[in-house]
Structure 1
Amino acid sequence: MFPKLKFLLGIINSLLYASITVFFGIAVLIGGLLVWIIPSKRWRHCATRQVLKIPLGWMSLVNVVIQWNSRHRWDIQGPMTALHPNRWYVLIANHQSWIDILVLGFVFNRHIPLLKFFMKKELLWTLPFAGLACWLLDYPFVSRHSRSAIRKNPELKYRDIQAVKKACQKIKEHPATLVNFVEGSRFSEEKRLKQHSPYHHLLKPKAGGTAIVIHELADHLAGIINVTLQYHTQHKPITFWKFSCNDFEKISIHYEYLPITHDLIGDYYEDRRFRKHFQSWLNILWKRKDQH
């Protein structure tokens, strides 16, 4: 495609994505605020179920734009028939780009419940429009402290753990898919070298958050969805602009459904034997993921 046509396509797609997002974002704000003022717990629960359908509509329209642009550039492999839109899941994935969120929505929208991400509390004031919309949709917000801050004040680690547990209790109210990018950061070659990662295309996985979620939601979870994302493009990492310009060769998504077995449920921070086992299990998944 000629550069000028790519640029024009990027402008058109960016405007479409922005328009769709603003429209549905306003709908979430209005619906969420109405739910918030409903006094009856029963009616509030029913109304929340309807509001949670709004982001599914947002993703459906976004998917129409994506499909129109790049329908032949997707390689999706996985057992979609094993999934259900009214069950709870934990989705773990490698993290390549901000586009990962759109890609996961494109693949899984309406096949599994609404994707929910652990979000930093800072987003409530740094991105007030998006942050408030996510808060009204009961996205889990947590404070994330650096290792140096935790070393200075070990109490912060306990607060983080309790915040995750509290968020999980809230998620039990409606079916959801809790997404965890377990590397904790978007991949870059510089980060890989800095942390001496044993993998060629991945950062080291962090097991704690996923272990807590599985433990807290064990009686609700239908399973784990393990996703591997790969972008075939000359520009790495792929940006939103490059994605909007259709400036990529192919996007590969391979996923598998994993059952929740008893050996994956335990107290990660108090049971040393379980912690080692869970880390080993996750490292094996990551080694396999690195070979895709």
Structure 2
Amino acid sequence: MIQPSDLRTLPLFRDIKDAQLTELIGTFAKETLPAGKTLFQVGEVPTRLVLLFKGEISLLEGEEERFRLRPLAPVGELGAITSHPRNVTAVTATEVELYSVPVAQLLSFFESHGPLGLSFYQNLLGLVSDKIRRDDMRIEQMRWNIIRTQKAMKKLRDLVLQSVETEISKPIFEALDDLIEHNRRAHYRVVPHPKFPAKVRLDNGALHDVAEVSDGFLKVAPGAEMPKDGGEWSAVLILPAGEMAVSGVIQRTGKDGVVVRMDGFIDEYRKMLEDYMTRLQLLDFVV
């Protein structure tokens, strides 16, 4: 049987009193599962908070094991509390003993146990804050790697220009130039936020969500009637600050949407789009 001292080893339950944890444990149901049992798959929306008490669980990306959980461990606690779709598939690697509670029941319990709920959410916020800091460190490392790579490619491109021309000079120069342009910061796409959306109004009047946008590309969410790849396209891009005419060429059509390489903008529209993208990026940035 899981004990308050067990729960307190998890950051999620740190600094919560024994009496409170004992009440909380009473909401959990115990379950034993055999090896090879799938707990959830990629894309599933979680409905329960699950704790691994005995055994091991494999977290899979495709067929590859990304992580292996061992006791005592929460199984995707952030996704469970926020109902975020699962990013991995979880399969029991051995026989396991789990303790779980429906998220709706857990939230109802916190409503009637205010001090405990406050401590839980403070710990949860601390976990999120720590994750953001770690992600920021990894992103910063990646950013500096890109900067170093950009500088090296520019030096190599200049070297090709300054050297005696051969039959491979042109393809090497063009490949380097294309990579340098592609890696420019301004070309990175951002994803509109549900509370800060972007839409396109097509020539037939239909409205469709924008899935991604950059200064040169736009991805329209699946379901829109669009020209075939290589065809010309025009629409009205609807942003929170206003509307702007856009046009371009269909670059790729897929199950995830239609990617458009956009034409250039007048200064007014370019500024509006840059402001929108900056605001989206600030949603992911801790000042």
Indicate the TM-score class for this superposition, using the shorter chain for normalisation: under 0.3
Higher percent of residues as strand: 2
Higher-Rg structure is: 2
TM-score of the superposed pair, with normalisation by structure 2: 0.26
Higher percent of residues as helix: 1
TM-score of the superposed pair, with normalisation by structure 1: 0.26
